[in-house]
Amino acid sequence: MNNKKRDTRWLASVALMMAVVILLASTPLGMIQLPVVKATTVHIPVILGAILLGPLAGSILGGVFGICSMVSNTMAPTLLSFAFSPFMSMTGISGAVKAVWISVGCRILIGFFAGWLWILLSKCKMNRMAALAVTGFMGSMVNTVAVMGSIYKLLALPYAQVKNVAVDAVWGLIMATVTASGIPEAVVAAVLVAIIGKIMLKFIK
């Protein structure tokens, strides 16, 4: 009976976090305007879910994030939507499969990585606030590095075409995105995960 109650509570908690992910992904709340760039916040509930509910929950939430990204890039396409929506592929079925990986697969990695990193840091008896901040920062960087790294490895040519640059210049553009957008997003994630995570962990206890 206790196991059933625990499973039901876990499922309800995952469903609640899924609703938060969908809300952020569907509204301007999913973006924070920084002085130079906009930082996404959609991955933050994914990281928090991984911390509070484990790597499996984090992976599920990451998948939901990825599906939301895929739908958004299909319904309101941009120049880079070919990398996130299989329906916007510029290279046929091969490109469609790559888009699914970038949009969904890379986002699943966020929750999986963050969940196991939190478990590792907890076992190391690291200061809780520091551990939350590190998990938030690294989870966010997994998102940026996995997505941009996959675009570079799998879709460098079409990326160069839409950016109207030589293929040799793609690496520089990828690194500029990681620096200008990925690092500020990671800092925001570190702060928010530390603050919100500390409060939520108290409620769970």
pLDDT in tens, 13-36: 999 999 999 999 888 888 765 554
Q: Report whether 21 contacts 170 (CB < 8 A).
A: no
DSSP characters over 116-157:
HHHHHHHHTT--HHHHHHHHHHHHHHHHHHHHHHHHHHHHHH
Place of tokens 């997994």: 142
Average pLDDT in the 135-160 region?
Answer: 95
CATH number, domain 2-204: 1.10.1760.20
* Distance between CA atoms of residues 88 and 80, nearest Å: 9
Structure tokens at 14: 């995952």
- Residues 109-123 pLDDT 10s: 999 999 999 999 999
Looking at the predicted structure, is the pLDDT value of residue 37 above 90? no
pTM across the whole model: 0.92
Domain spans of the chain, in order of start: 2-204
Q: CA-CA distance, 16 to 9, in Å (whole number)?
A: 10
**Position with higher pLDDT, 27 vs 205:** 27
CB 62 within 8 A of CB 112: yes
pLDDT at position 78: 85
pLDDT of 38 strictly over 70: no
